[in-house]
Structure 1
């Protein structure tokens, strides 16, 4: 197991993009029995993010992620309280063993409907004050303290490296640009499917300010709609293709 972690950290250090990092991390955790993995920002330094999935990377169970967000499960998920108040990792089974309200039970029952019966959660604090969660899920995996400890070490490296690479991909470009750095950033998050208000939550600003930046970006790229703005931004190399969903 620790050989796997050493191999992963060696590969991760050489990764030049988030996808390369995902490949290295995915190869390791699937060997441990996990089927999905995702690093999600739960809160930022500026304000709480109330819709998990606004900023994430990995290979998550997408249908469950959307269901979780659309159903507002963050308000009833006992795991969120644990993430925000403790850095200790935990298995879902540890939470399920304790007294739970009907709403809290519902979250686990709906996860099971999506084939997610087991999960390992690693809360992670970043230097900028943001709180992240690395979630590993499976229909069946052999739970153990050794696996939990190895996952903690690997997950902390994965999230730290991923945040760095994700920010680098957004902010680093090779060509001259018609958009400002902040305009390229908001268009990139727009390409990920976020609304103006959601982008504002990620960046710690207002949805109105984001909307203004998008309007100015449309003017600079001669785009009439937000969809055409994203298309023009890709075609003119203003944003990286890796962020198209």
Structure 2
């Protein structure tokens, strides 16, 4: 992973974590996403299929008012193929990657009309939280510029923003964080320098499975969704340096 990406992610997450309001959180999130041309967004929970009160789950609405009114009036939530995909898939996806089988005529109409409202390209980041229903951060624009290398950055920031908005007004976790071991810190510092799992296994003289086991432990201790998130959280805890 490039050090510039880590620095940008560190800066964005720091702004979100020090924000004192939803508006401040969204300002930091919006600034980061606009870098990739993603100007429209919706951050929301996903209630049960065919639920008619889905709007109560919305955490942040960055859609255009015109599209929001159209979406609600036509009950597009019930037919949106992005919603259907996010319910069962944990992986982020581009709108253009939606399975063709999900684009029945009504679903295709939703996507076609979104394009008419200036949202021709987009990304969905499904949110799956233990003991809670699914959610999604969806972003779109008439044209986005998102290279594959940027997807971990986008996924991390979307999940972190969703969690931060959900946690507003709730007591923080007062448990002392579990520190990383010396080997875990060493492994994470190699990851921050852009080394792959196989590279790290070779450098440390261990198997790939051992490295992956350490990575799982690291993510668990840091409550991180991926390597990028773990690196930033460890940096903020001053457990590693880059």
TM value normalised by structure 1: 0.61
Match of 1:144 in 2: 147
Separation in structure 1 between the aligned mates of residue 102 and residue 86 of structure 2, nearest angstrom: 18
Separation in structure 2 between the aligned mates of residue 145 and residue 51 of structure 1, nearest angstrom: 35
Alpha carbons 2:25, 2:161 under 8 Å: kept: yes
Output aligned runs, 1:31-70, within 5 Å.
31-43=35-47, 49-54=51-56, 55-70=58-73
Separation in structure 1 between the aligned mates of residue 126 and residue 163 of structure 2, nearest angstrom: 12
Separation in structure 2 between the aligned mates of residue 35 and residue 62 of structure 1, nearest angstrom: 13
Which fold has the larger relative contact order, with Cα–Cα distance below 8 Å and residues 6 or more apart in sequence? Answer: 2
Aligned to 1:107, what secondary structure does the other structure show?
helix
Q: Which runs of 5+ in 2 are unaligned?
A: 171-242
Give how far 1:140 is off. Answer: 0.5
Separation in structure 2 between the aligned mates of residue 111 and residue 61 of structure 1, nearest angstrom: 11
Separation in structure 2 between the aligned mates of residue 155 and residue 58 of structure 1, nearest angstrom: 14
Q: Deviations over 1:23-59 (max 9, x none)?
A: 1111111112111222111127xx9743443222152
Match of 1:76 in 2: 79
Q: Which runs of 5+ in 1 are unaligned?
A: 169-245
Output aligned runs, 1:1-245, within 5 Å.
1-43=5-47, 49-54=51-56, 55-95=58-98, 100-165=103-168, 167-168=169-170
Separation in structure 2 between the aligned mates of residue 119 and residue 163 of structure 1, nearest angstrom: 23
Q: 1:153 to 1:101 in 2, by over 3 A?
A: same
Separation in structure 2 between the aligned mates of residue 112 and residue 130 of structure 1, nearest angstrom: 28
Aligned to 1:93, what secondary structure does the other structure show?
helix
Match of 1:240 in 2: none
**Residue correspondences, number:** 166
Separation in structure 1 between the aligned mates of residue 102 and residue 130 of structure 2, nearest angstrom: 34
Q: 1:145 to 1:53 in 2, by over 3 A?
A: farther
Aligned to 2:17, what secondary structure does the other structure show?
helix
Moved more, 137-146 or 115-124: 137-146
Q: 1:51 to 1:107 in 2, by over 3 A?
A: farther
Alpha carbons 2:90, 2:127 under 8 Å: kept: yes
Match of 1:197 in 2: none
Separation in structure 2 between the aligned mates of residue 151 and residue 48 of structure 1, nearest angstrom: 29
Q: 1:25 to 1:88 in 2, by over 3 A?
A: same
Separation in structure 1 between the aligned mates of residue 150 and residue 7 of structure 2, nearest angstrom: 12
Aligned to 2:144, what secondary structure does the other structure show?
coil
C-alpha root-mean-square deviation of aligned residues, in Å?
Answer: 2.4
Q: Deviations over 1:127-148 (max 9, x none)?
A: 4412211011111012432222
